[in-house]
Amino acid sequence: MRERVLIIITVLTAMGLLAVMAFGADDPNTCKKLASKVPKDCKYYEPDKFYTGKHGFMNDEDLTTDNGNLEKGLYLMSWLVLSPPVVGDATAGDDIVEDSDMLKKHWRCSEKEVTKDPKNWPVAGEKLSGSGGIAADGSWWVPINFQDLVDAGQGALFSSGNEFDWQMWGGQGLNQFIEYLFCLVKWNKGGTITIKVGSDDPEVTWVNGEIICFSKNWSRNWSRDTDIGEFEAPAGEWVAILGKVGENGGECGYTIRIEPPPDDHTLDTEMAMAVSPGNKLPTSWGAIKAMRLR
């Protein structure tokens, strides 16, 4: 009987650890869980509207502008973003790349370290200290899907050459700020990945600790796919992406086109952190395998 109980416990524990590997890509249950972690103190977030699972992590329709489409299935739509964005000067050109590390000033980790190590990944509902303006009470990492925001009436998405305009932030009335966006993606077979970034105004994009794309242009309208870079994705392992965009007046814009598109995606970084490097099961699995009945 004792042996049977131990065997059952071992099997159930192993099943639980295997479940850690099964990441939901924007399924409604995952979305509800992550959105519910955002405290009610965050005034600029509606959890039942902004991350619903209705749309996938890549755009599930062509999102049109006057000058072309955000082609279906190529642009990342789901992110952890700061709401509201932190106050910062985006007019100094080089500062967006070199000097304006607003995460280091207001959070537990510098922007250069966020994607280097899983322990640095942001968590849904995590708070930054206040930075002034509408962010005086602080900012939160919140899960969003840009197509959900459009459905919720939070501005037009890159329509007629304009950028995304989050109405809860005050629309075009909010100027001089820095916004960050984070997500995890995975390619089952790995290989060379091309990313193409468009932004209003300057931007920096890190992948696994390295700057892949950037623009120091502090006064440009959004245009798709203007900054291009490549990186090597390891097969079957999570790749961390951090985007940073500076706003110098008007709307804020940031898009990432990924080719080939990832096979999986998650904003559930707490679950992802439960998997050791290389996406192997935690070392406790080894202890379970080594259990011997006495």
pTM for this prediction:
0.85
Q: What is the DSSP string of 211-270?
A: EEEEE--SS----TT-EEEEEEEPTT-EEEEEEEEEE-SS-BEEEEEEESPPSEEES-HH
Cα 120 to Cα 115: distance, rounded to the nearest angstrom: 7
Provide the token pair at 278. 């290389």
Average pLDDT of the chain, as a whole number: 81
Q: What is the DSSP string of 96-118?
A: HHHT--HHHHHSSS-TTTTTT-G
> CA neighbours within 13 Å on the CB side: how many for 179?
28
pLDDT band at 264; cut points 50, 70, 90: very high
Per-domain residue ranges of the chain: 1-21+278-294, 24-274
Residue 180 pLDDT greater than 70, yes or no = yes
Provide the token pair at 79. 């992110």
Query: In the chain, what is the greatest distance between 2 CA atoms, to the nearest angstrom?
Result: 73
Closest residue by Cα to residue 200 from 294, 65, 48:
65
Cα 59 to Cα 32: distance, rounded to the nearest angstrom: 20
Cα 114 to Cα 148: distance, rounded to the nearest angstrom: 26
Lowest mean pLDDT among 143-152, 156-165, 168-177, 206-215: 156-165
Q: What per-residue confidence (pLDDT) applies to 94? A: 59
